[in-house]
């Protein structure tokens, strides 16, 4: 079929769907207007997909905060089949948002998704989909709504359900890395090997965390094959930590014990961000997706190095490292091969940091709630910082972010890892 014929076919399909969806949506809107569902002029619909643990937690929290901060109605509708392992988070999402017959919400979503653009614009005066899949920045555009200090129903329910507020009673450091094994065997998650932690890197982190073993227990939440490799490399690890198999044990069953989560960016850190659990982010990339409003978190900035044959000094930051990490042709450079490896850039290894330095970062994250801060405001940027190194880093971070990402990070309350030996070479 020619391109012209294909275009006519798509146009005819869209015309037919618009003819169906427009009167349908008008009828449903009239039902909403003259029913007890809402008195708001405009409402929003959050379409919940339970397949992905992190998105389920993060997006439901965003929807709840959006509703609370803007004093508006956000309806919950489930897309796809709920599973036993996701039922807790699905129920929390339902209880923290507004509800109405799901068939009406599905019909409204159908109408908005299948109408001509000018019709969608008109309909969006009355209702809209929150975090639409067509948007390039999806949940990232709403990150400021999850600042740890903010209060909203989803976070309150989660904190009460998992007893997250009593920090003094929590004595477990949970190391929960994203690894090649787990995601390599999950057909629903794209492989991202550049930011996975390998067994040697995990051992390095365990040894750093073990320096706090007198005060805290250490739990590795990972897959059995990864743990077996770790024990083969370092048999004494078995006496330093406990192990929980991520294929057998739900992380939610461990959340009530977690004093600190050590993670390199996956669904577990998304839950921690939404819930406000103290987190140490290690090898989290790209920098554009950092949870910069996760106030009780510490981020270790892993550099992108061009010449890996040279000795890497991870404690020396400079403008070249910042530019390598942030100056990209897209605001959200999620394709590592296209945006980084094609430029000869390789993400640094955890083992580039010494164990004492990593241990100091863990100590900093454990004490993050006891820190004192100063504030800095310039134009649209609002940040807090503890020292001049952190201030200079965040200012340069924001300066070199692509324009399309700046709004995601104009409220910065997370901390940058600092052992006292870091320098920022102002070249």
Q: Look at residues 136, 154, 184 and tell me which one is the last residue of a structural domain.
A: 136
Q: Which stretch of 34-43, 69-78, 101-110 has the lowest confidence by average pLDDT? A: 34-43
User: Which CATH number is 43's domain given?
Assistant: 3.40.50
Whole-number Å distance between alpha carbons of 4 and 6: 5
Does the residue 153 lie in any domain? Answer: no
Q: Which stretch of 22-36, 243-257, 269-283, 405-419 has the lowest confidence by average pLDDT? A: 22-36
Cβ burial of 318 (10 Å; 0-12, 13-18, 19+) is middle
Whose tokens are 């550049």? That residue is 194
Does the residue 148 lie in any domain? Answer: no
Does the residue 145 lie in any domain? Answer: no
Whole-number Å distance between alpha carbons of 229 and 217: 21
What are the residues whose beta carbons fall under 8 Å from the beta carbon of 184, sequence distance 6 or more? 191
Asked if 232 and 200 count as a contact pair (C-beta separation under 8 A), the reply is: no
pLDDT tens readout for residues 318-343:
888 899 999 999 999 988 888 998 99
- Tell me what percent of the residues of the chain surpass a pLDDT of 90: 58
Q: What is the mean pLDDT of residues 300-316?
A: 76
Q: Look at residues 136, 152, 183 and tell me which one is the last residue of a structural domain.
A: 136
More confident residue, 99 or 418: 418
Helices 3-33 and 102-113 pack at an angle, to 10 degrees, of: 140
Residues 209 and 124 in one domain: no
Q: Which stretch of 50-64, 172-186, 212-226, 328-342 has the lowest confidence by average pLDDT? A: 172-186
Does the residue 149 lie in any domain? Answer: no
Whole-number Å distance between alpha carbons of 211 and 12: 67
Does the residue 3 lie in any domain? Answer: no
Residues 172 and 241 in one domain: yes
Asked if 318 and 278 count as a contact pair (C-beta separation under 8 A), the reply is: no
Other residues' Cβ atoms within 10 Å of the Cβ of residue 347:
17
pLDDT bucket at 381, cuts 50 / 70 / 90: very high
Does the residue 154 lie in any domain? Answer: no
DSSP assignment of 122-160 equals HHTTTEEETT-TTSSSGGGGGGGGG-TT---HHHHHHHH
Residues 129 and 170 in one domain: no
More confident residue, 100 or 182: 100
Q: pLDDT value at position 127? A: 85
Q: pTM for the complete prediction? A: 0.89
Residues 57 and 196 in one domain: no
Q: What is the mean pLDDT of residues 398-409?
A: 94
Asked if 282 and 198 count as a contact pair (C-beta separation under 8 A), the reply is: no
Q: Which of 64, 87, 85, 86 is nearest to 76 (CA)?
A: 64
Examine the pLDDT at 38 and tell me if it is beyond 80.
Answer: no
Q: Look at residues 69, 102, 136 and tell me which one is the last residue of a structural domain.
A: 136
Full strand arrangement of the beta sheet holding 411-412: 374-378, 381-385, 411-412
pLDDT bucket at 427, cuts 50 / 70 / 90: low
Q: Is the bond preceding 376 in cis, omega lying within 30 degrees of 0?
A: no
More confident residue, 38 or 5: 38
Q: pLDDT value at position 37? A: 54
Residues 256 and 378 in one domain: yes
Cβ burial of 346 (10 Å; 0-12, 13-18, 19+) is middle
Q: Which of 91, 12, 77 is nearest to 44 (CA)?
A: 77
Does the residue 250 lie in any domain? Answer: yes
Owning domain of residue 108: 11-136
Residues 241 and 390 in one domain: yes
Residues 128 and 15 in one domain: yes
Residues 71 and 178 in one domain: no
State how far Cα 251 lies from the chain centre.
16
Asked if 177 and 265 count as a contact pair (C-beta separation under 8 A), the reply is: no
Whole-number Å distance between alpha carbons of 424 and 387: 12
Q: Which of 362, 360, 418 is nearest to 386 (CA)?
A: 418
Count of structural domains, the chain: 2
Q: pLDDT value at position 1? A: 45
Residues 241 and 359 in one domain: yes
Does the residue 6 lie in any domain? Answer: no
Residues 204 and 125 in one domain: no
Helix (H) or strand (E) holding 398: helix 388-400
Residues 104 and 166 in one domain: no
Residues 281 and 230 in one domain: yes
Whole-number Å distance between alpha carbons of 69 and 130: 14
158-193 burial string, b = 16+ CB within 10 Å, else e? bbebbebeeeeebebbbbbbbbbbbbeeeeebeebe
Q: What is the mean pLDDT of residues 277-301?
A: 96
pLDDT tens readout for residues 165-192:
877 788 999 999 999 876 555 666 666 7
Q: pLDDT value at position 190? A: 66
Phi, psi of 423 (to 5 degrees): -135, 150
């Amino acid at each position: 079929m020619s391109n012209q014929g294909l275009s006519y076919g798509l146009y005819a399909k869209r015309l037919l769907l618009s003819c169906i969806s427009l009167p349908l949506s008008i009828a449903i809107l009239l039902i909403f207007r003259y029913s007890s569902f809402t008195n708001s002029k405009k409402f929003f619909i959050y379409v919940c997909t339970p397949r992905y643990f992190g998105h389920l937690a993060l997006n439901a929290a965003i929807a709840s905060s959006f509703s609370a901060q803007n004093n508006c109605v956000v309806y919950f509708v489930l897309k796809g089949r709920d599973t036993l392992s996701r039922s807790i988070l699905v129920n929390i999402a339902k209880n923290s948002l507004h509800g109405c017959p799901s068939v009406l919400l599905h019909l409204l979503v159908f109408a908005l998704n299948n109408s001509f653009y000018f019709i969608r614009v008109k309909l969006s005066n009355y209702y809209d989909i929150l975090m639409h899949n067509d948007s390039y920045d999806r949940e990232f555009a709403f990150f400021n709504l999850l600042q740890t200090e903010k209060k909203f129903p989803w976070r309150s329910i989660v904190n009460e359900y998992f007893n997250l507020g009593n920090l003094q009673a929590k004595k477990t450091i949970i190391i929960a890395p994203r690894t090649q094994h787990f995601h390599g065997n999950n057909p629903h998650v794209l492989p991202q090997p550049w930011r996975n932690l390998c067994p040697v890197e995990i051992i390095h982190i365990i040894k750093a965390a073990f320096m706090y073993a007198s005060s805290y227990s250490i739990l590795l939440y990972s897959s059995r094959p990864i743990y077996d490799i770790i024990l083969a490399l370092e048999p004494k690890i078995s006496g330093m930590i406990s192990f929980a198999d991520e294929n057998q044990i739900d992380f939610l069953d461990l959340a009530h014990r977690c004093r600190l989560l050590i993670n390199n960016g996956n669904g577990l850190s998304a839950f921690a961000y939404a819930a406000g659990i103290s987190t140490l982010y290690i090898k989290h990339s790209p920098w554009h997706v950092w949870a910069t409003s996760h106030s009780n978190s510490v981020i270790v900035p892993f550099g992108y190095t061009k010449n890996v044959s040279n000795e890497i000094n991870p404690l020396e930051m400079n403008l070249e490292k910042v530019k390598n990490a942030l100056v990209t042709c897209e605001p959200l450079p999620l394709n590592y091969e296209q945006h980084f490896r094609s430029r000869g850039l390789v993400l640094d290894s955890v083992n580039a940091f010494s164990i004492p330095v990593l241990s100091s970062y863990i100590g900093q994250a454990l004490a993050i709630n006891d820190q004192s801060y100063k504030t800095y405001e310039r134009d649209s940027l609002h940040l807090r910082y503890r020292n001049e190194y952190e201030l200079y880093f965040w200012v340069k971070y924001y300066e070199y972010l692509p324009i399309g990402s700046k709004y995601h990070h104009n409220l910065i309350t997370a901390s940058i890892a600092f052992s006292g030996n870091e320098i920022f070479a102002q070249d």
